[in-house]
A = this chain, B = another copy of it.
Amino acid sequence: MTLSEEDYIKAIYHLGKGENRMVSTNALSESMETKPSSVTDMVRKLSEKGVAHYKKYKGVCLTENGQKIALALIRKHRLWEVFLVDSLNFSWDEVHEVAEQLEHIKSEKLIDELDKLLGYPQVDPHGDPIPSKKGEFKKAIKKLLNEVPVGSRGICVGVKDSSGPFLKFLDKNKIALGDAITVLDKEEFDGSLHIKIKDRKMQISDQIATNLYLKITE
């Protein structure tokens, strides 16, 4: 597969939202930042290569084989992201662009060894699960911190309230996107949470918890 073909396969997979839904030409066009006519040409080619099912005017989805390729790419992308953050001091928001290049490097051994070096991580720095070599993984869901059971672990991936005061509050309390959070306990009385965030323990009110998104796998 060429670099371009690989990026299209990944995009079809992601737009298919986990299960293999039909993806429209325009959706792909927007996601790939190419014109719809270019998409038509490409999906036809992918179809001829046996990695996608394409029906004129009806959209495209991946074949079994196409899904395997997509998962292998996602595995590589996310392992590289872990490497960049854990070993090379990249931050949460710097990794994507580089991983987008690294995911295309062809070497089975490279990825196996990288996986080993990193200690077989289960999730990437954004809280997204890393498929196994066989393509298996638990899917990640995004939930508000107050809806999640005690004991859950995940990554802080967003805010519901994006007002200035709230963001300032987060900054002051050193809560940032990308931080790993574990819910240790919940006070039934007022709904406040005891959490561990980046190896540091703290307590947050229910009002804060209802405005923070956590990405958890399983």
Contacts and interface: CB of A to CB of B under 8 A. Distances in A.
Interface stretch (A34-42, A70-78, A98-106, A159-167): A98-106
A90 interface: yes
Contacts of A109: 88, 90, 94
Interface stretch (A44-52, A110-118, A169-177, A183-191): A110-118
A107 interface: yes
Given A98-B110, A110-B98, A117 B88 contact: yes
Contacts of A101: 105-107
A61 to B, nearest CB: 30
A39 B98 CA distance: 30
Contacts of A90: 109, 113
A88 B87 CA distance: 13
B88 A98 contact: no
Contacts of A84: 110
A65 interface: no
A88 B102 contact: no
A148 B148 CA distance: 68
A24 B14 CA distance: 48
A150 to B, nearest CB: 37
Contacts of A113: 87-90
A124 to B, nearest CB: 17
A113 B114 CA distance: 16
21 contacts: A84-B110, A87-B113, A87-B117, A88-B109, A88-B110, A88-B113, A88-B114, A88-B117, A89-B113, A90-B109, A90-B113, A94-B109, A97-B107, A98-B105, A98-B107, A98-B110, A101-B105, A101-B106, A101-B107, A102-B105, A105-B105
Which 5 pairs of residues, A with B, have the shortest CB-CB distance? A88-B113, A98-B107, A101-B105, A89-B113, A98-B110
Interface of A: 84, 87-90, 94, 97-98, 101-102, 105-107, 109-110, 113-114, 117
